[in-house]
Amino acid sequence: MKLVFSNENHLIVNNVKNLIEAQSIQVFIKNEFAQGALGETAVFDCWPEIWVYDDADFEQAEAIANDAQSEKSGTDWICTKCKETNASSFEICWYCHYDKSH
Q: Is the pTM higher than 0.75?
A: no
pLDDT at residue 41 is higher than 70? no
pLDDT at residue 69 is higher than 60? yes
Q: Which DSSP helix (H) or strand (E) runs through 58?
A: helix 58-69
How far is C-alpha 71 from the chain's CA centre? 12
Average pLDDT over residues 46-73: 89
- Please answer whether residues 58 and 2 qualify as being in contact, where contact means their C-beta atoms are separated by less than 8 angstroms: yes
pLDDT at residue 65 is higher than 70? yes
